Chain A
Amino acid sequence: MSDAEIKNAVFKILRRIAPESKPDQINTDENLREALDIDSFDFLNLMIGLNEGLNIEIPEADYRKVGTLGELMRYLASRLK
């Protein structure tokens, strides 16, 4: 899966969670929760969406590794290779 495809999949999930948000305008080093104003429930939904959409299960212990959009993209790319 290419980086662009991963990004599209992530953005689709984020738009479902925060419909009014514009994920493509988030800086890659910005904290995702703060940038999108999403709470722990929404964040869990993001994890569920990634699990269902990309078949990747991110353990809780790795949450700190996916705090920004850039970190999340890199994490997913490494797991999908």
Chain B
Amino acid sequence: MPSLGADMQEGTLIEWNVKPGDQIKRGDIIGVVRTEKADIEVEVYHGGVVDQLVAKVGETLPVGAVLAVIREEGEAAPKPALVPPVTRLRASPLARRAAQELGIDLAQAHGTNPHGEINEADVQRAAEALRKAPPEVPAAAEFRAGIRRAIALAMARSNREIPHYYLETKIDLSRALKFLEAQNQKRSVKDRLLHVILLIKAVAQALRDVPELNAYWVDDQLQQKEAVHIGFAISLREGGLVVPAILHAGRKNLDELMQALRDLITRARSGRLRSSEITDATVTITNLGDLGVETVHGVIYPPQVALIGFGRVIESPWTENGMLGIRPIVTATLAGDHRATDGHRGAQFLTALNQHLQEPEKL
């Protein structure tokens, strides 16, 4: 049973797509697992022959339990099929187009084709149901409850296991926002950058300066991660949030980051995230700048060791070189795992973050 992160404890096998003796290749979907958040299509990591289906359809199993055994070609001994899953709603191209035209989320449609695939008529029915505006549909309520349970598990574990320390600093965004304004004046509307893109890029660069914060804490040891996969907290319109990762954020330029964030938010809100995006984040950013909040003291998502929070950009009095002026100021916070790092390194990270935001042309 694959894990989709700290919030998943078990899953229910709802479908096998293969049988013993079948030849399979890397990337084939061999079954579907239902979790609190979504139905997950399970892909195989290695090709071979299905030796044994261990789990039964309808069976609920803990994370780590063996679902199946596959045997590689020419290999005598069978080996467990440990698999990275992919979350995807099954829908026909016509259904996807209809959903886009009608402005509805595919997750709101109930698939009636074999294997639960959503067809155009399903989308039309969902749109009609939405037009009638029922106060609440049971599926939506259950979805929200599942999301809340998942968040509760992860956050309770974090508070139980991680001794958090918090640091905060105020950062003058004058240069960064002027740079952004100039950039956006050169762009069409659809290519405009949001200011959070600069914050994400600056975090990725600061993590290069203080790599201990881009890490996991596992078995009482710090495991530093080379790739920077930034988990970005995305609120869902149904309530709750998901924290998928912008993979390889450190290697992306500003346009690529904006494209990645756009893609991620769109898919997160329509329930079509991929497993690697859910499981691979090495650090998390939460940005509450769109609301009235000035400061965010976040809860670290285990096994990560740091979370960076940003509040609202506020026009504030600010002195520089003895001169008083009004500047756009953001409060950046760091929640650090004290088992992994101490306040000194945390302070170095926030200092580096500030420095990168003062040189936006280098972002």
Contact = CB atoms under 8 A, between A and B. Distances in A.
A and B from one complex = yes
Given A48-B189, A58-B189, A15 B290 contact: no
Interface of B: 103-105, 108, 130, 133, 181, 184-185, 188-190, 192, 194-196, 235, 237, 261-262, 265, 289-290
A38 to B, nearest CB: 8
Contacts of B130: 19
A interface majority secondary structure:
helix
21 contacts: A12-B103, A15-B103, A19-B103, A19-B108, A19-B130, A19-B237, A20-B237, A22-B133, A33-B290, A40-B289, A40-B290, A41-B261, A41-B265, A44-B192, A48-B189, A51-B189, A57-B188, A59-B185, A60-B181, A60-B184, A60-B185
A29 interface: no
B237 A18 contact: yes
A70 to B, nearest CB: 21
Given A19-B130, A39-B235, A39-B290, A57 B104 contact: no
Nearest to A58: B189
Nearest to B238: A20
A65 interface: no
Interface of A: 12, 15-16, 18-20, 22, 33, 37, 39-41, 44, 47-48, 51, 57-60
Nearest to B289: A40
Contact of A57 (B181, B189, B261): B189
A35 B209 CA distance: 41
A41 B262 contact: yes
Contacts of A12: 103
A33 B133 CA distance: 22
Given A15-B103, A41-B194, A58-B189, 18 more contacts: A12-B103, A16-B103, A19-B103, A19-B108, A19-B130, A20-B237, A22-B133, A37-B237, A39-B235, A40-B194, A40-B196, A41-B262, A44-B192, A44-B194, A57-B188, A57-B189, A59-B185, A60-B181
Contacts of A19: 103-105, 108, 130, 237
A47 B103 contact: no
A9 to B, nearest CB: 13
A20 B184 CA distance: 31
Nearest to A36: B237
Contacts of B189: 44, 47-48, 51, 57-58
Nearest to A16: B103
A22 B185 CA distance: 33
A14 B184 CA distance: 23
A42 B93 CA distance: 25
Contacts of B185: 59-60
Nearest to A39: B290
Nearest to A17: B103
Contacts of A22: 133
Q: Which of B133, B195, B196, B290 has the most chain A CB within a 10 Å cutoff?
A: B290
